[in-house]
Amino acid sequence: MASGEIKSSWAAVLDHTRNFSDFTFVYPVISRRSQGLSIGINLNPDKACNFDCIYCEVDRSTPGTRTEVDLKQMRDELRALIQRVKDGGLAREPKFDQVGDLAREVKDIAFSGDGEPTMVKNFSECVESVAEVKRHEGLSETKMVLITDAAGLDKTDVKHGLSIMDSHNGEIWAKLDAGTERYYKTVNRSSVKFERVLSNLLETARERPIIIQSLFLKVHGEAMSEQELTAFCGRLNDITTGGGRIQEVHLYTVARPTPEEFAAKLENEELEAFAQTIRKETDIKVAVFP
Ligand code: SF4
């Protein structure tokens, strides 16, 4: 199965008329949070994650595929997609022809995808490879984003990868959905201790400003309680009073059907009310993505 995938991916690299869905590691997406075209780098075709969020959109009913990142293939796919953006080919594809000029400019290149990017053993090599393509393609000003659950930010190789990102217009978008261990276990269902996630957020934010990404939702019909929200704001304040910098909180909710029926979306007004409280309690900028 793996060799068949390599073959079809390579065909897609060589033949620009092929659909980009043939790629293994690289995909284009119009992202509201990026305000335009984001090129996603999926380091986890194996769907590996150390969280098991009740709202996760990754389809785990089918097994993952590749466990190793083929750096050469990733670089080639990335170069091919950037070329396709530059020559206007992407904007002409059926999936993107409705978004006009948005598909003609790469807003960011984001480590995201079907699992947790920091779980790959050669994370820093992956970052270096993307940085190299970015430079080569004249996209030095383009952001390089890591979308992470923060559980692996304390690993030595990951820290090295983050330092490479720092010198290539990097941004870290780190997940925090809860204020207490109990709610964290309910929503993120991870075996990683909440303390470790919080400590990683603090240490990472001490090195450079980070963006916190928080998904709020209804669990069995109940939105986050007032006590939980107070605890959540407390965790953010712990980071800032501890010397960490939070550039912004991205607050969003469930956008698509979730694997768990008891996990449901919040109404826009509810999300906005949560955002107001967070702004008031923390003095941090909060952007809402209903
Ligand atoms: S961290 Fe992301 S990939 Fe992992 S389970 Fe949660 S939503 Fe899914």
pLDDT for residue 3? 29
Tell me if 52 CB under 6 Å of ligand 1: yes
Q: Is the CB of 211 under 6 A from ligand 1?
A: no
Which residue blocks in the chain are alpha helix, DSSP H?
Answer: 2-14, 71-86, 89-92, 123-136, 156-166, 181-187, 194-207, 226-241, 268-282
Cβ–ligand 1 distance for 56 under 6 Å, the answer: yes
Instruction: Out of 46, 53, 258, give the residue to mutate to test ligand 1, the one with the largest number of ligand atoms within 8 Å of its CB.
Output: 53
176-290 topology per CATH: pyruvate-formate lyase- activating enzyme (3.80.30)
- Would the CB of 58 count as within 6 Å of ligand 1? yes
Q: What is the pLDDT of residue 62?
A: 79
Rounded to 5 degrees, what angle do the CA atoms 63, 69, 72 make?
A: 140
Counting from 1 in the atom list of ligand 1, the atom nearest the Cα of 44 is: 3
pLDDT of amino acid 141:
92
Q: What pLDDT does residue 17 have?
A: 34
Write down the pLDDT at residue 269: 97
Q: Is 116 in the pocket of ligand 1 (CB under 6 A)?
A: yes
Q: Residue ranges of the domains in the chain?
A: 1-146+156-161, 176-290
One pLDDT digit (tens) per residue for the chain, 290 residues: 222 233 333 343 333 333 466 888 999 988 888 888 999 999 998 899 999 999 998 888 777 777 789 999 999 999 999 999 999 988 888 878 778 788 899 999 999 989 999 999 999 999 999 999 999 999 999 999 999 999 999 999 999 999 999 999 999 999 999 999 999 999 999 999 999 999 999 999 999 999 999 999 999 999 999 999 999 999 999 999 999 999 999 999 998 888 899 999 999 999 999 999 999 999 999 999 98
At 40 the pLDDT is: 93
Verify whether ligand 1 is closer than 6 Å to residue 77 (CB atom): no
Question: What global pTM score does this model have?
Answer: 0.91
- 154 within 8 A of 200, measured Cβ to Cβ: yes
149 lines ligand 1 (CB under 6 A): yes
Residue 21 is predicted with a pLDDT of 63
How many CB atoms lie under 10 A from the CB of residue 78? 24
The confidence score (pLDDT) of residue 81 equals 94
User: Residue 41 — φ and ψ, nearest 5°?
Assistant: -115, 110
Containing 288, the helix (H) or strand (E) segment is strand 286-289
CA of 116 to the centre of ligand 1 (A): 7
Distance from the alpha carbon of residue 182 to the mean position of ligand 1, in angstroms: 18
pLDDT at 10: 37
